[in-house]
Structure 1
């Protein structure tokens, strides 16, 4: 089994994954271990059309981005509103 390649400032390259027919991917075991990802955990998939996609854990994003919870709450539709999608 290949070890992740270590880069500067704690960055790692864990390898490549293949997207299955249902759009599923498998997160490499070393990445799951490093980020304490367990079965049933929810992950966020973020995207920027110019830079690509990123997958992160909610606690890690909350830790690293000030105001993340407030931002997500502000962009969610108001559940009590008559303007339901």
Structure 2
């Protein structure tokens, strides 16, 4: 099964005059989106749409990635001292 078939439809939105959209209530509940939350907007993998991700999740993912990269660098410098 391709990745696109795993996507779920969560509702629809209309772009308003000022470029704003309203995220459907069910999607906001499911993903814990609250008034004032910061959302980062990314182009989808194949450029067919947009991805919305809470900013706090992006910073956490980046922090985890940096930690993992540090471990890789350490392991390559000291292959006898590899830690998990």
TM-score, length-scaled by structure 2: 0.55
Q: 1:49 to 1:64 in 2, by over 3 A?
A: closer
Which of 33, 39, 46 does residue 35 from structure 2 map onto?
39
SS of the counterpart of 1:18?
coil
Unaligned runs of 5+ in 2: 67-84
Which runs of structure 1 show a deviation greater than 4 angstroms over 4 or more consecutive aligned residues? none
Q: CA deviation at 1:50?
A: 4.5
Which of 4, 16, 20 does residue 20 from structure 1 map onto?
16
Unaligned runs of 5+ in 1: 1-6, 68-85
Q: CA deviation at 1:42?
A: 0.6
Task: Name 2:50's counterpart in structure 1.
Answer: 53
Higher Cα radius of gyration: 2
CA RMSD of aligned residues (A): 2.5
TM-score, length-scaled by structure 1: 0.55
The 5-angstrom pairing of residues 63-82 of structure 1 reads 63-64=60-61, 66-67=65-66
CA distance in 2 between counterparts of 1:20 and 1:53 reads 16
